[in-house]
Amino acid sequence: MDSGRKLDITPKTKVGELLNEYPHLEETLIDIAPAFKKLRNPILRKTIARVTSLRQAARVGNVGLGEMINRLRREAGLAEAPGLAADSSDEEAARPEWADDSRIADTIDARPLLDAGEQPLGKVMSALNKLEQNRILVLITPFIPAPIIDKAKEKGFRVWWFSSGTDEVNTYFMLSS
């Protein structure tokens, strides 16, 4: 099966592709960020890993993109990729004016879903599709939900998140006017 050409490891590489090509890198990912232990769950591995890029995974794991990519490349026997940097948008920003708690229409705590091996994307997108103008959906997760954030932004939602302690990230979504 090895054609001599290995998968390149870049910020756009999907976690699932990475682990299919380089299964031994699962332990490296977990070592980089303990949040990646969830990859051991076969359901999450088939769902989240299939759609999550390494750029998004770095945000989820709260690790530097360049550091993570280059460590994975080294472990895979590839040359380092100089000049990789994290997105400046990865940083937690100050609360925007629109993220007013009085506008919260619904809250989804995805932690029990994730613990049960379920992917919360469908439930969150369904709730976002029902969200009224100028109302907020709050999503509670144990990590930055980068793939959900990216999907919501593609659909025109404003997004802001903050960490309220270990294992709790609150992400606010509101449809842009």
For residue 102, what pLDDT is reported?
Answer: 95
Instruction: Give, as one character, the DSSP assignment of residue 53.
Output: B
> Are 81 and 50 members of one domain?
yes
Residue ranges making up the domain that contains 81: 15-89
Model confidence pLDDT, tens digit, residues 114-167: 888 788 989 999 999 999 999 999 999 888 888 899 899 999 999 998 887 667
H/E stretch holding 169? strand 169-175
- Residue at which a domain ends, from 89, 114, 132: 89
Q: Tell me which residue has tokens 């109302």.
A: 135
For residue 2, what pLDDT is reported?
Answer: 47
> Are 98 and 163 members of one domain?
yes
Model confidence pLDDT, tens digit, residues 13-70: 999 899 999 999 999 998 988 878 878 877 777 777 888 889 888 887 878 888 899 9
- Residue at which a domain ends, from 89, 104, 132: 89
The answer to whether residues 59 and 87 touch, using CB atoms and an 8 Å cutoff, is yes
Number of domains in the chain: 2
Q: Could you give the CA distance from residue 69 to residue 165 in angstroms, rounded to a whole number?
A: 27
DSSP secondary structure letters along 69-90: HHHHHHHTTPPP-TT----GGG
Q: What's the average model confidence in pLDDT over 92-106?
A: 88
In a domain, 22, yes or no: yes
